[in-house]
Structure formats: structure tokens, C-alpha cells
Amino acid sequence: MYNRAEVVDQNFTQFVSTGKFPPARTPTSLEGSGLSPSRLVQLFESQVASRHLDLRARILKNSNLCFYTIGSSGHEGNAVFGNVFRLDDMAFLHYRSGALMLERAKQLPGSTSIYDTMLSFVASSEDPIAGGRHKVFGSLPLMVPPQTSTIASHLPKAMGAALSIQKAKDLGLNSVMADDSVVLCTFGDASANHSTSLGAINAAAWTAYQNVRMPLAFICEDNGIGISVSTPSGWIQNNFSNRPGLKYFKGDGLNLIDLYVQTKSAEEYVRQRRRPVFLHMETVRLLGHAGSDMEFNYHTLAKIEALEFNDPLLHSARLLIENSILSAEEILKLYEQTRSRIQHVGQYVIHRPKLLKPEDIRSAVTACTQMKTAPDLPEENLREKTFDREYARLKTPQHMAKLINYGLTDILLRYKNAAIFGEDVAQKGGVYNVTEGLYSKFGAKRVFNSLLDEQSILGTAIGLSHNGFLPIPEIQFLAYVHNAEDQIRGEAATLAFFSQGQFTNPMVIRIAGLPYQKGFGGHFHNDNSLAIFRDIPGVILAVPSNGADAVKMMRACVRKAYEEGRVIVFVEPIALYMTKDLHQEGDKEWSSAYPQPEEEISFGEFGVHGQGKDLTILTYGNGYYFSRQAEKILREKHGVNCKIIDLRWISPLPTESLMKEIQHDKNILIVDECRKSGSLSEALVTMIVENSAKIPNIKVLAAHDCFITLGVAAAAGLPSRDDIIQSCLSLLGKNTEKK
């Protein structure tokens, strides 16, 4: 019989009726376990409801009425976790957490978890968490942020959330979690091998090893297989049971009594000791990986039947009968009543409304249900005291790195929940001294070093923001972000979308990047590609070209993150950090006094230099710097008058205002320091062509599709001042012979 869901369903009824139960694999006694008979029945009820939700999903899928069949069958023992951990313990959950969610919901009177889950199965717009955008386990009242990943990429942010609890307490912040809360995250044995989960577990243990509080419960639900690939016997226990800084517990997922005892021990340890635990639940997987998975392709029928006989519901039924809590008849009555209830709910939800319009789907990309107002600017006497000797230098022109440092100082003063962290940012002050002195001014609770793991840095940012912080993490170099891009793409950027703005993770990610860096090269330190950020819905990408703009843009970014929960990437051009001069040594035309505290550059506000009618240059970052140099030569030596637009905001592009600015321009040169393929230039050309009544002459000057080399040739293949001059002359049909 190929429909294993029907087989498992029928087996339960038949085996309970005949008393054919699998033997216990862990000897236990209800007496002394702390688990009361009524609580055992309650856990069993959640297990049964979870099972029938899986069965109903398969039935609805056969009629194309359900769109998700990765179920929790075999993992129903995780109901224990929903019972033991408190409602204010934030939970980041695996996709097989059906029983856990049902049991956790019982802590909140009035919850309608079965109905809510069924709404998500059929992708109804009335699903209270994702609104029909995806099937996720999530709930604001239950403090379960929705997860969409199957590879444990939620573990880094669980680690960050756990780290935030003591920090929030020490700083007196209005946090989401209570001071004695813990964080739990569940994942599978196959996901435990992924670099993301290994990095998060290592980061938590590394932190705890240094006696920093990390109240985090890693819960590995080990069913022995990842889709079709078996997990080696003993691998999880041997891999995680003897790690420094991490306490290991093991529970039998087929025995509610044993699992309850072990979970209570783990919960008490992590809550009292404030140190991470690894809770290992051994269980089985039933009904395959998902509805489309044919287990016969990789398992024999004998093995499938053996696994099905180890059904956790059969084990729980045996415990109830052995302890004279319920009879076989009462168990079967409960089972069928639950089936009937879920069948009726299923029949109702298929008629509930669905998302149909693109604008309705899109509306959640940047949704935020808890808007805030930015705090007032700090008092001047506090600023003067904090800046100390630097206060007198605020009016003296400085380069970008120093101005950003001043800007971060004011931001930390204004936003008491802001925290800056990353590799080497504390005592050292960062590789380029941009964060110099912030550690001594604001302390280790707000300015701290991370370990060398970008996944952990960004995960920490997401986790901190879940508990009321405004994180400003630093990624040391642009190329390094590729080690962790899923933390932005798959986690941070999707949270508002899959929770309809009920959960947000505001942050401003500072990244030192782009090319032209001298004496410190190779493509890992001169990365000229921003494509990774531009195609992520909802993410704002900012690239300043000078120090004054950097400060004013950073202020706008932090405000936007604080007030609207936005995820913002702020790329700082390394080559311009220390640049002071524009045309000649000593002219100080690329230096600026520190902007007044209230000055900001709003989103989409681009800069315009000159009003020349001959040609318009669209550019940003280093391109704007070189275009300014070229403009002077073009004007003085060639009689060409240019207008230069510094885009500043790379994504989303302010299409309407940009087109209004260039609508009458006849010649447009796009200068893009990123590689031509996949660069912003492609979007700019498309924008101009699609929105122009009369298409102007357009030319693109972008970097070659090549990696950047080390040494004197580091700028070869990148747009230069002279390249810009020649491109302008060529576009105007003038002699392009170099003079």
C-alpha cells in the first residue's frame, strides 16, 4: 500500500484496539518524574491533534486545496517542549513543530492554534501570521517569530536573542523578553551539519566559555535521516556531547515521560545557569520528508514498517494504558473526536479568502505594525562631555572615516538601544579606525567584538533586534558578506513579509567595501559588486561618496530602522575613508566639517553638482569622486559643461524624482565602479529607456567583468578620471584622443 498516511492512521486504531504496542526503549516511571497524569493526557492530546493536522493536509493536498505537506509525524514528542518552556521564552522553531505549537498555545487562553494552522495549510489571507504568503509556524502572542528556512539558518539569530537578554537588563532597556527568559530553537539532525548551525552553536559555546550569559536551548530533533540521506548512528551525540561551554542532555522522543524529565533538567539548567544546552531528542520520521517524497525509492518496505511501528503516538498510548490513566477505548475515542474536529475545521478553511492581487502580496514586504518615533537629539552638554577633546574639532574639516566615527558617537548617544559590534570594532576601533574610541565611551555592553564569523555577526543583529535593540553590525569587508548572505536574504529581509509586519528586525549593516583601495588588495578587499543586495525585496542600500553625506545618510538610515523596522545596508567606500583632497594635494575639497546633529539626507534624495546642459553623469561612491575630477578638466580644457548626479541611494532607486531631474537631458553617461554584468548601470539604462518620452544618448562606463588583482594593477579595469573624460567626449562626438 503506497499511501503510508492511511497505513499509519489505520495502524494506530488497530494496534491500540488489539494492544499491539512497540516496546519501550527507555525504562521510565511516571512516579517521581514530575509529570502528572493530567499533564500526560494533555501532551497526548497535542500529539494526536498534530497527527490529524498532518493527515488532513495530505487529504486536502490530493484535492489541490492544501499547499504544504511537510508534516510533524514522528516528531510529536516535541509537545513536551511546548509545555516545559514558558510562553515568554522566545522560540525559533523547526518546520516539524506542530505538536510543540499546539501545546505552547495551551498556555494562552483563547488560542485557536488548530484553526490558525489549517488557515496556513490552505494559504488563506486570514492566516494570522503570514497572511497566506507561506506556511510557517509563528505567532506574536506566542512569541514565535516565523521561520522559513530548512537549514537551521534561524540558529544564529536565536543565539543573538539569547545574548540580548542580559545586555538589555544591564542597560535598562524596554526589552521584549523578561530578564529570566531563555531562548529555544529546534532543528533536525541533518541541519545540525550545516555551517550555519555549526557556526551558531560554536558562537554560543564560545561566548559561554568566556562566562558571558547565553541562556539558549539548542534542541536537535534527531530522526536519523535528512530527506533520503541517513545520519550515522551516534553522530549527533558524539559530535555535541563533549563541547566546552555547552551542556548536553538526551531525551527519548518516543517516551513522553523520559523526554519530560530530560527537558525539565535542561530547562532548569539553562534558566538558572544562563548557559547554553544541547537537548538531543531521538525520534523517528513518519510519512516521508513531505507529501511528494516516495520513501520506497530509498527504504525497503520492511524498514518503513518498522519505523511506523515505532510511532510515538503508539508509545504514548501504551504509557497511558500502563499507568491506568486512559483505557484503549478512551484513547480511540479521543483520537476519533480529534479527527472529526479537524475535519470540520478543514472543511471550513478551504472557503476562506486567499491572496489574489500582487499589491496585496507585496504590501507586507516592508510592513511594520509597531511604528515608533525617534528619540530627541541629545543635550549639547552631554555631547560635549562625550566627545571630550574631539568636541572642539567638530567644525574642522575631516575625512570620511573620522566623520562617520563622530556620527556613530551621536547615534549611540541618541538611541540608547543601539549597539555596534563586529570583528575588531571595540578596543582596536576597527581595521580603519572608524569605531575608534566608541568602546571606551560606551562600554562593552554596546560596543563589542565578535568572533570571526559573519553568519554569527548578522544572526546576532537579528536576535538583538528581536529583543528591543537597534543593531549596527559591521562586516569588515564587502566580500566577506557572501559567507552570510542568507542571514540578510533568507532571514532578516523576510521577517516582515512572513509576519505581516508583526515581527521586524531593524538594523543598519555597515560594510566597508568597493574598489580602488591601494596597498591592501586582491578581490577580497576590493570587491566591486553590490548585486547581492539590490535584488532583495525590502532592503535599503545606501552608498555615500563623502564624509558629510555619510553622516547625514547614516542618521536617516538609523531613524528609518528605528521607526519603521527596516533592514538597511550601508556600504562605506574604503578608498574614500581617508581621502581629503579632490583635485590636488592639500586642497581639502573632499573634507568636511561635521554636520549639525539635526541634518539628514532623506531616502531617495540624490545630490546634484553643476547644471551643465551638455552632458549628465549618473554615478555614486568612488564614481562620483572621479567624476568630479573629470568635470573640472572637461569644463576647463574641453569646454564641456556637465551635471553630475550622486545617486547615494542605490536601492530602491528614486525613479520618479530621478526621471524628473534628467527628463530633458540629451546625453547621459553612467559611471559604475561595479562589474558591468549585474551592476546598477543595467537598472539605470532600463529606467531611462522605459520612462523617457525621447530616449537620450546613453553610454555606460563600468568595471570590467573581472576580479580585482593585487599590486599596481589593482585599478586596471575600473573606471578612472581619464576614462570618464574620454567617455564624455566620445558620447558628445568629440575627438577622444588623449591629450
User: What are the backbone dihedrals phi and psi of residue 376, each rounded to the nearest 5 degrees, phi first?
Assistant: -65, 160
Model pLDDT for residues 297-328, shown as the tens digit of each residue: 999 999 999 999 999 999 999 999 999 999 99
Residues 182-195: what's their mean pLDDT?
96
Residues 140-162: what's their mean pLDDT?
92
The residue written with cell numbers 533586534 in the block is 465
Dist CA 65 CA 187 (whole Å): 28
Q: What is the pTM of this model?
A: 0.95
Question: Is residue 518 very low, low, confident or very high in pLDDT (cuts 50, 70, 90)?
Answer: confident
Tell me if 719 is assigned to some domain.
yes
Query: Could you say which DSSP state residue 594 is in?
Result: P
Dist CA 441 CA 161 (whole Å): 24
Q: What is the mean pLDDT of the chain?
A: 95
Dist CA 700 CA 685 (whole Å): 8
Tell me if 373 is assigned to some domain.
no
Residues 201-220: what's their mean pLDDT?
97
Q: What is the grid cell recorded at 53?
A: 493536522
Q: 46 and 140: one domain?
A: yes
Looking at residue 694, its pLDDT comes to 94
Dist CA 176 CA 88 (whole Å): 9
pLDDT at 664 over 50: yes
Q: 469 and 613: one domain?
A: no
Q: 215 and 266: one domain?
A: yes
Which pairs with CB-CB distance under 8 Å and at least 24 residues apart come from 27-35? 28/255, 28/257, 28/258, 28/261, 29/257, 30/257, 30/319, 30/323, 33/257, 33/260, 33/261, 34/260, 34/261, 34/264, 35/256, 35/257, 35/260, 35/261
Contact 162, 462 (CB under 8 A): no
Q: 530 and 668: one domain?
A: no
Contact 607, 649 (CB under 8 A): no
Question: Is residue 737 very low, low, confident or very high in pLDDT (cuts 50, 70, 90)?
Answer: low
Q: 544 and 651: one domain?
A: no
Tell me if 520 is assigned to some domain.
yes
Tell me if 600 is assigned to some domain.
no
Tell me if 287 is assigned to some domain.
yes
Dist CA 32 CA 323 (whole Å): 13
Of the candidate ranges 1-10, 54-63, 372-381, 501-510, the one whose mean pLDDT is the lowest: 1-10
Q: 478 and 339: one domain?
A: no
Residue 357, domain CATH: 3.40.50.970
Give the length of the chain: 739
Residues 12-34: what's their mean pLDDT?
96
User: What are the backbone dihedrals phi and psi of residue 732, each rounded to the nearest 5 degrees, phi first?
Assistant: -90, 0
Q: What is the grid cell recorded at 656?
A: 520618479
Half-sphere exposure of 673 (CA within 13 A, CB side): 30
Choose the final residue of a domain: 527, 554, 576. 576
The residue written with cell numbers 573581472 in the block is 706
Q: 349 and 401: one domain?
A: no
Looking at residue 739, its pLDDT comes to 43
Looking at residue 150, its pLDDT comes to 64
Q: 355 and 400: one domain?
A: no
Question: Is residue 545 very low, low, confident or very high in pLDDT (cuts 50, 70, 90)?
Answer: very high
Q: What is the grid cell recorded at 494?
A: 523576510
Cβ neighbours for 374, distance < 8 A, ≥ 6 positions apart:
414, 415, 559, 562, 563
Model pLDDT for residues 46-66, shown as the tens digit of each residue: 999 999 999 999 999 999 999
Of the candidate ranges 396-400, 467-471, 515-519, 626-630, the one whose mean pLDDT is the lowest: 515-519
Q: Which burial class, exposed, middle or buried, applies to 582 when counting CB atoms under 10 A from its CB (0-12, 13-18, 19+)?
A: middle
Side chain identity, residue 276: P
Q: What is the grid cell recorded at 292?
A: 511528494
Q: 319 and 421: one domain?
A: no
% of the chain surpassing 90 pLDDT: 93
Tell me if 738 is assigned to some domain.
no
Residue 614, domain CATH: 3.40.50.920
Compute and round to an integer the Cα radius of gyration of the chain.
29
Q: 440 and 339: one domain?
A: no
pLDDT at 575 over 60: yes
Tell me if 594 is assigned to some domain.
no
> Is the Cα torsion angle 473, 479, 480, 483 positive or negative in sign?
positive
pLDDT at 503 over 70: yes
Nearest one of 230, 569, 231, 554 to 406, comparing CA atoms:
554
Number of domains in the chain: 3
Residues 501-514: what's their mean pLDDT?
97
Tell me if 601 is assigned to some domain.
no
Q: 555 and 669: one domain?
A: no
Q: Which burial class, exposed, middle or buried, applies to 687 when counting CB atoms under 10 A from its CB (0-12, 13-18, 19+)?
A: middle
Residues 197-217: what's their mean pLDDT?
97
In this structure, are strands 642-646 and 607-609 parallel, antiparallel, or unpaired? antiparallel
pLDDT at 346 over 90: yes
Model pLDDT for residues 248-285, shown as the tens digit of each residue: 999 999 999 999 999 999 999 999 999 999 999 999 99
Nearest one of 359, 402, 444, 455 to 149, comparing CA atoms:
455
Give, to the nearest 10 degrees, the angle between helix 256-273 and helix 312-322.
Answer: 100
Q: 202 and 285: one domain?
A: yes
Domain enclosing residue 495, as ranges: 380-576
